[in-house]
Amino acid sequence: MALCERRDAHVPLVHGRMAEVSASGTDELAAEFERHRGHLVGVAYRITGTLADAEDAVQEAWLRLSRVDVGELRDLRGWLITVVGRIGLDRLRSAAVRRERYLGPWLPEPILTAPESDDPLARVVLDDDVRMAALVVLERLTPEQRVAFVLHDAFSVPFAEIAEVLGCSVDAARQHASRGRRAVADADPPPRAPLAQQQRLLGELAAAVTSGDLDAVVRLLHEDVVLIGDGGGKAPAAGRPLHGPREVANFLLGLARIYGLGAGVFEPVLVNGDLGYLVRSQTTDGGRVVPATASVASVRDGRIVALFNVVNPDKLTRLPGAGLPGPGGPRSSG
């Protein structure tokens, strides 16, 4: 299926039997659809890993709704979820080809929200399975496994309906979900750490990196730590995953030296519901251009076990307003 053209997320719905327009019915159906929109974005985002594709999938579901007899739908929410699942499957299949040509590691598009934000997307990332560490694991699944696992385990969609989405038998749908579930369990992504622990670790990491204290950085990192950077060939990033405390620490300190970063450039934001840092694009006193970067960590056994750095500007088009003051006070590039 070809990618649909991006449309305004709030284009009025057409209502009626087989797309017959009724002004009053349009308002009624539009209001009902809006009650489900946030939930549907959450479904599509888990499936596709990109907010742009998720919103396009929801918009396409909106348009498809205008072409059916709404009176025949026994469960509108359930119908919309399966439609979004089918569209998401098409997006995943087409994305697989594009990602083969992607330069460097690929990370999901992060959802950035300011602390205590009333942004509707802030509700999407409340669930533990939308944290970055969990989404990265989903990238290892086949499109069919991912759709079956997400629809069944996260949203309790019956396998009979999942089979229709995938175009396979019920037994095959059940097997896809089982394989996806097993792959996720084997990967064992760390659960979401308490916010206070995240805040302490990230604050100490920022201070250690900007002060050039290699040993202090190493002490904060788990022995199995991995750093994954996603620049997509459009911004400087690690070209491969980095493993181990020393390699990761040297890379972070190298970035701080190159750009002359002070602790104040690290702006606390929520990245998929976890505390992370946003570095906004800026020019340092030395004339270097610092690329916008969204970073978030995963924690295991009280230390940082994974760092995800998104630098690709295509994935950082929705930056939140200023959040809380960073550990070094007001933002500064010096």
| Cβ neighbour number for residue 274 with a 10 Å cutoff | 24
- Report the predicted TM-score, pTM, of the whole model to 2 decimal places: 0.85
Residue (of 315, 238, 310) closest to 277 by Cα position: 310
Q: Which domains does the chain have, with CATH numbers?
A: 1-101 (no CATH), 195-315 (3.10.450.50)
Q: What is the 3-state secondary structure (H, E, C) of 292-305?
A: CEEEEEEEECCEEE
- Give the Cα separation of 290 and 260 in Å (integer): 9
- Give the Cα separation of 116 and 204 in Å (integer): 23
Angle at 118 between CA 326 and CA 229, to 5 degrees: 50
| Cβ neighbour number for residue 286 with a 10 Å cutoff | 10
Half-sphere exposure (Cβ direction) of 120: Cα atoms closer than 13 Å: 11
- Give the Cα separation of 116 and 224 in Å (integer): 32
Residue (of 280, 246, 248) closest to 261 by Cα position: 280
Does residue 275 sit in helix, strand or coil? Answer: strand
Encode the chain (334 residues) as per-residue pLDDT tens digits.
333 333 333 333 333 333 333 444 677 888 888 899 999 999 999 999 999 999 999 999 999 998 887 777 888 899 999 999 999 999 999 998 888 899 999 999 999 987 777 777 888 898 999 999 999 999 999 999 999 999 999 999 999 999 999 999 999 999 999 999 999 999 999 999 999 999 999 999 999 999 999 999 999 999 999 999 999 999 999 999 999 999 999 999 999 998 887 878 899 999 999 999 999 998 877 788 899 999 999 999 999 999 999 999 999 998 886 444 343 333 333 3
